[in-house]
Chain A
């Protein structure tokens, strides 16, 4: 036999996709599993899923595979957890959304910003008196790249969400229940 803790010790990015009953307090129970092991959550997204009464969590962490696997087991151990799966980046489709608040006067600047918006597949979400709100979806590297390009024009605020993911397999959540 070998111990369950040796083996690969390289840290990688993992995405956990978790389905639970939609009950108050459960988020605490789930996040406690990470904090107890001193694993930092890089991004977390919780929302109701397509199934009535079921929440879906998408949690991104960096850790070693065997630690991530044990976390999945601990999540499944919770009475109200329905499913938990572990994915490496290439096993999922994932997307983030980013918002950029740009001062209005940046747009009077020879259409440069407008060009960036078009080139990057971003769109204008809102136009206010003194700023414009841009939206872009994409991978973190892409939303980040646009931020870098917009920087010279003065970005008032930049925010991006955690990822939402769907697995590349064709299992539907109903089968899990």
Chain B
């Protein structure tokens, strides 16, 4: 079998053979090293699904229960593996159901190739059954998209798609293939795409910039590194660590940069942003040098821009030139891949320790611990708090699990308190804040890491109901995700804002929920509900020991709030602790 596969693959890339467009899609995917796809069939993509039928030994297809589930699963798969996530959908509603995931992948720089079926080319523009202009609809949310109307375009279009999706700043690409192009025959020959004249995915920083940056770093009294997802995408974790350790620079992380440096690293000071840690936010306005690496100064990180780090010089290491000076002006822009740029910079960096500066972070930590963290993670009485669930999870998983979070209070609590140890173990919807992301994304992540890691999905009672049908996917394919529903019977994060900024007018945020245990069991999952603190740890153990997908519902305090918090539009140093 192995031999056969190899000859087949060699064949695909050397001599040409006559095959259908649909089979060309399969062979192109194999040539790109794809082995897992997520999708949902329908009329306009049936020839491709028919071809897939003959490739199931090499291409595992996961039939989700909604196209949004398929694309989020592809995102989760991509985020933990670093590979391109692949999903397929039919035309019309199938294709439009992908849009939320495409937008999410665009803003969070996740490489995806989405393949959609389209009505036959002679019907284009006639409002044919299930025709939508998915190319037009997806333009603003794709890095690139293309409609294939003839079979012989397929290999080249897919080669370009994979190349564009994963190079430079990664992003989603959509390839729409008309049904006649799927049926028609072509001479198949696959050539990987290696460059495009209009596209420079590997910009290199100016040498003078590297030198200026080194001088600024060597002279700084209070240098401060902000690490974003660019570090993880470029696999620059070692370089980041080396820069921090050599020059004694504290490192804070954006939401998507979490896990670039282990949480217990002595120079790791915490998370940035609206619900980030106290010191990292306040001290942004006290540092003398910001070294931003692979991050884009999102408004959730900067708060009020005209009061953001106005005292500091800024070095911005970023592969996407359009991010330079977009929100925060860079004194030294270094446009390039984070790993390669840091490799150039590191030899110029002089050893240093900024002890009293680092201690300032520790002092803030102490305050945050006393005023917030202690009562959140070690409550003595009252209902269960989200943070103590994460504390127990830390103890049980030693920070080694992949944590997939949805959007809301539980997301902020889980990412604040989980002790990430290894790169690419944090999967969350950052830029778009897509409720419903976690459940499908977790199943994709689990297929990505296989048995090497636990995948824990932390989700709210609101968010899980947006994509709850994917429990069926987990059950059908035996995808052993461990789901923790933190149930506060509210759309908690919205309720928190209503409490703090709208005089507790709880407009449409309280929910009468289904019996999640019965629902999970109905879908074929093991499930358990926890309502008292004493049972929490043993229930967690039972969940982790279970061999297969599992849902644990934890009834948590209903009207709990996430702190610290920078109120929307305020300066980063206006953090509230209560």
* Nearest opposing residue in chain B for A19, CB measure: B198
Q: Are B306 and A3 in contact, with the CB atoms below 8 A?
A: yes
Query: Hey, what's the 0/1 contact readout for B440-479 against A, CB within 8 Å counting as 1?
Result: 0000000000000000000000000000000000000000
Which of B30-38, B79-87, B139-147, B245-253 forms part of the interface with chain A? B139-147
Residues of B within 8 A of A1 (CB): 290, 309-310, 312-314, 328-331
Q: A25-B145, A79-B198, A80-B198 are in contact. Are A5 and B321 (CB under 8 A)?
A: no
Residues of B contacting A3 in the complex (Cβ-Cβ under 8 angstroms): 305-306, 308, 327-329
* Interface residue ranges of B277-320 to A (CB < 8 Å): 290, 305-306, 308-310, 312-314, 320
Chain B positions within 8 Å of A168 at CB level = none
Q: Say whether, besides A70-B322, A73-B321, A76-B321, A4 and B329 are in contact (CB < 8 Å).
A: yes
Interface string of A79-92 (1 = CB under 8 A from B): 11110000000000
Using known A-B contacts A79-B199, A80-B198, determine if residue A4 contacts B144 with beta carbons closer than 8 Å: no
Whether B198 and A81, one on each chain, are in contact in the complex, defined by CB atoms closer than 8 angstroms, is yes
Q: When chains A and B are docked, how far (Å) is the Cα of A28 from the Cα of B321?
A: 22
Asked if B347 is an interface residue, CB under 8 A from chain A, the answer is no
By a CB distance below 8 angstroms, the chain A residues around B314 are: 1
In whole Å, how far is A54's beta carbon from the nearest beta carbon of chain B?
9
Is the contact region of chain B dominated by helix, strand, or loop, or is it mixed? mixed
Size band of the interface chain B makes with A: 20 to 34
Interface membership of A151, Cβ < 8 A: no
Q: B198 and A82: CB pair below 8 A?
A: yes
Chain A: which residue is nearest B302 at the CB level? A3
The answer to whether the Cβ of B382 comes within 8 Å of any Cβ in the partner chain is no
A114 lies within 8 A of chain B by Cβ? no
Task: State A20–B196 Cα separation when bound (angstroms).
Answer: 12
- Cα of A1 to Cα of B316 in the assembled complex, Å: 12
Q: Does A29 contact B322, Cβ atoms closer than 8 Å?
A: no
Bound Cα distance A76, B328 (Å): 19
Is residue A96 within 8 Å, beta carbon to beta carbon, of the partner chain? Answer: no
The distance in angstroms between the C-alpha atoms of A73 and B322, with both chains bound, is: 5
Interface of A is mostly: mixed
- Asked whether A79 lies within 8 Å of B328 as measured between CB atoms, the reply is no
Interface-central residue, A1, A21, A28, A74, by most chain B CB under 10 Å = A1
Contacts of B320 in A (CB 8 A): 77
Number of A-B contacts (CB under 8 A): 68
Q: Is A6 positioned at the interface, with any CB of B under 8 Å from its CB? A: yes
> Which chain B residues border A36 with CB–CB below 8 Å?
140
**A32 at interface, CB cutoff 8 A:** yes
Q: Chain B 324-363 against A: per-residue CB contact (8 Å), 1 yes, 0 no?
A: 1111111100000000000000000000000000000000
Residues of A within 8 A of B147 (CB): 25
- Among B135, B313, B326, contact of A25 (Cβ-Cβ < 8 Å): B135
Q: How far is the CA of A32 from the CA of B328 in the complex (A)?
A: 24
When distances are taken between beta carbons in the complex, the residues of chain A under 8 Å from B199 are 79-80
Asked if B125 lies at the interface with its beta carbon under 8 angstroms from chain A, I say: no
Interface residues of B in 139-168 (CB under 8 A from A): 139-140, 143-145, 147, 164
- Tell me the smallest distance from the CB of A79 to a CB of chain B, in Å: 5
Whether B136 sits at the interface, judged by CB under 8 Å, is yes
Residues A1-48 near B (CB distance < 8 A) = 1-6, 20-21, 25, 28-29, 32, 36
Contacts of A5 in B (CB 8 A): 305-306, 327
Q: Is the CB of A29 within 8 A of B139?
A: yes
A177 at the interface (CB under 8 A from B): yes
Given A79-B143, A79-B164: A2 in contact with B321 (beta carbons within 8 A): no
Q: Does B122 contact A (CB under 8 A)?
A: no
B197 interfacial by beta-carbon distance below 8 Å: yes
- 1/0 per residue, CB under 8 A from A, across B123-145: the answer is 00000000000011001100111
State whether A2 touches B136 (Cβ < 8 A).
no
Known contacts A20-B198, A79-B143, A82-B198; decide if A2 and B326 are in contact (CB<8 Å): no
Chain A residues with Cβ below 8 Å from B164 are 79
Which residues on A sit within 8 Å (CB–CB) of B305? 3, 5
Nearest chain A residue, comparing its CB with the CB of B305: A3
Known A-B contacts: A3-B329, A79-B143. Give 8 more (CB < 8 A).
A2-B329, A5-B305, A20-B198, A25-B135, A25-B139, A70-B325, A73-B324, A77-B322
Would you give 23 A-B contacts (Cβ < 8 Å), ordered by A?
A1-B290, A1-B309, A1-B314, A1-B328, A1-B331, A3-B306, A3-B329, A4-B325, A4-B326, A4-B329, A20-B198, A25-B139, A25-B145, A69-B325, A70-B322, A73-B321, A74-B322, A76-B321, A76-B322, A77-B320, A77-B321, A79-B196, A80-B196
Q: Which 7 A/B pairs are nearest by Cβ-Cβ distance? A: A73-B322, A3-B305, A4-B325, A77-B322, A1-B314, A79-B144, A4-B329
